[in-house]
Structure 1
Amino acid sequence: MKLQLNGEPVETRGDTLADLLEAEGFGGAKVATAVNGTFVPAGLRAGHILAEGDSVEVLAPMQGG
């Protein structure tokens, strides 16, 4: 399936947001996620089914001040 991940085209075999994060190296990272502009909490990622053409954003927390 073809998706956009942080504005870049990617292809994945996974069906869920959790599958995509694992495949792209974000599996254990503390990140915030949104699909098509809607926030998806960490606890719901395994059940969030992705569709062809979805736009996924993954944001890491920033430190500093």
Structure 2
Amino acid sequence: MRIEVNGEPRDIAATTVAGALSELGWGEARVATALNGEFLPSAARAEQPLRDGDRLEVLAPMQGG
């Protein structure tokens, strides 16, 4: 299916947010996620299905000050 990840179109085989994160290389990373503009807690990723055309935002924490 084709989804948008951080503004870039991507073709993925995964059917859940957790699966997509793993497929895209963020499987073990501590990241924040939003699906179609709504915050998605990490506990909900394994159950959250993806649909063609969904927009997934993945944000990694930054250090600094």
Shorter-chain TM-score range: over 0.9
Root mean square deviation of aligned Cα: 0.4
Shift of 1:29: 0.2
Where do 5+ consecutive residues of structure 1 fail to align?
Answer: none
Alignment partner, residue 58 of structure 2? 58
| Number of corresponding residues | 65
Shift of 1:62: 1.0
TM-score, scaled relative to structure 2: 0.98
**SS of 2:46 mapped into structure 1:** helix
Alignment partner, residue 27 of structure 2? 27
TM-score, scaled relative to structure 1: 0.98
**SS of 1:3 mapped into structure 2:** strand
Aligned pair 1:38/2:25, yes or no?
no
Q: Percent identity?
A: 51
Higher helix share: 1
Alignment partner, residue 48 of structure 1? 48
Deviation >2 Å, runs of 4+:
none
